[in-house]
Chains A and B, each alone.
Chain A
Amino acid sequence: MALIKDIGYFLDETGSMAKFTGYLFSHGLRPRFEVKELLAQCYTIGYKSFPLIGLTGFIMGLVLTMQLRPSLVSYGVQSELPVMVGIAIVREIGPVITALIFAGKIGSSIGAELGSMKVTEQIDAMEVSGTNPYKYLVATRVLATTLMLPVLTILGDAISLFGAYIGVNLGSVTSLHFFFTQVFQSLSFSDILPAITKTFFFGFAVGIIGCYKGFNSSKGTQGVGISANSAVVLSSVLIFIIDLLAVQFTNLLGLN
């Protein structure tokens, strides 16, 4: 009985979310556009997330290299370390880890902010003052997350590769030029394009789920906490699902 109830809840939530997304496309993305708010959100979501993404990217590149080195040494292919790390970071680890950190920081922030606005009737006040909250709050945030995550991923990948370069130099001496030449020689267009394309979808998922959870926050501060938490959990799960679909899709297109 509980299982049926859970399935019913899941289907209900999926339907509501699809309706919310549909409403965003039909009403939220029409003129007049809230350009000033969009730029403000790009600054908050993009620029202010950069230090965290940069730091975690650097550590990730460094640790990944340090962990890979012993295995490669045992097979006598340590010279392939830059190639392996480069492909791993650019194709998979960079986009996914950046998106997960982004979901943790931005998804929770959007969920909590809009949830708090919902329970304090600020969203109603906005509607009453003749402003469509889907345009002002949802469209701007979803666009900002969709546009900023690919940028952050590219920057995160670059910092992560620099971390990998430091990692490589902990065990041997390699020049920066040689390291990056090896990395870029091993990468092709079909490695970079799908990896960056999927981050647009990751960004969209983080934005729309944060907004949906915030907009549907129940009354009270507990509801705000639940919205923030479920926004992170759900968008993290969705990032993996999108990643899985992206791999299947690129396989079908012969890009792997």
Chain B
Amino acid sequence: MATIAKSDLGPEDKVAKGAPVITIEHLFKRFGKNVVLKDFNLTVHQEENVVVLGKSGAGKSVLIKCIIGLLKPDSGKILVFGVNVPDLSPDDLDRVRTKIGFLFQANALYDSMTVRENLEFPLRRHWINLTQQEVNQMVLEALENVGLKNTVDMMPSELSGGMLKRVALARTLILKPEIILYDEPTTGLDPVTAREIDNLILKLQKKYHTSSIVISHDMNCVKNIADRVILLLDGMCYADGTYEELENSSDEKIKQFFEP
């Protein structure tokens, strides 16, 4: 199996544990008259799982789409490994994106491709010197990580919701990203499968030492995986603390998220 050095992915060196990997400063984003993010600030550290909580339409998905460069903020800084994402050229942005994985809410697997082709797609674009044998090994390793090695030649339409989520996670991980952004990873899944996905996220985080931002409404998921919880309210970071700190808060706006 080919060893792909992290230095192949970009100019930055491996970040030490606890060092900031994402720093967001005074972020503003509006759609027409609707101001979604209003002076939003956040720092995510190496190997930290930050869960962003908030009502529907609060701007949680907008936030992670700004981080990955799918949306351009109106103002503010989004520093990923010290590089301001909104200022990057398309080529530089592609380079930074190899260090960031994104798990879409609806999985976003290419439905005209098999599972193997879905996983090969990012590999073929970034690591063009890999042989077919190396690609096959990496695909199978990624699928093995999520326990779905036997689905390699199946089409996405043949898989269940939980399996789709796992395959999407395998595709997210195949480029060995250092940061993973999860957009509601357990939405639409039954409680048992949701718990499996939570455990998988934790297992893979420990294995690959990734940092994550997780958007979630699922309080079990939040409790299981969060090192830190951010409450996004009115476009701002309303609360920031551990799950227990926020759960025990006397603030009515925070309490409503933790009520059964």
Contact = CB atoms under 8 A, between A and B. Distances in A.
Nearest to B121: A129
A220 to B, nearest CB: 12
Interface stretch (B78-86, B104-112, B139-147, B200-208): B104-112
B153 interface: no
B90 interface: yes
Interface in A111-151: 116-117, 120-122, 124-132
A126 B68 CA distance: 12
A122 B110 contact: yes
Interface of A: 27, 116-117, 120-122, 124-132
A27 B90 CA distance: 10
Contacts, number: 49
Contact of A130 (B70, B97, B104, B110): B97
Contacts of B109: 122, 125
Interface of B: 65, 68, 70, 90, 94-95, 97-98, 100, 102, 104-106, 108-111, 121-122, 125-126, 171, 175
Contacts of A125: 102, 104, 108-110
B125 A121 contact: no
B106 A121 contact: yes
B126 A130 contact: yes
B125 A130 contact: yes
A184 B11 CA distance: 65
Contacts of B111: 116, 120, 122
Contacts of B98: 130
Contacts of B65: 124
Contacts of A122: 108-111
Contact of A128 (B97, B105, B106): B97
Contacts of A117: 110
Given A124-B70, A125-B102, A127-B70, A132 B90 contact: yes
Contacts of B90: 27, 132
B73 to A, nearest CB: 17
A150 B211 CA distance: 52
A128 B67 CA distance: 11
Contacts of A132: 90
Nearest to A121: B108
B78 to A, nearest CB: 15
Given A121-B105, A128-B68, A129-B97, 14 more contacts: A121-B106, A122-B108, A124-B65, A124-B104, A125-B108, A125-B109, A128-B70, A128-B100, A129-B121, A129-B126, A130-B95, A130-B98, A131-B122, A131-B125
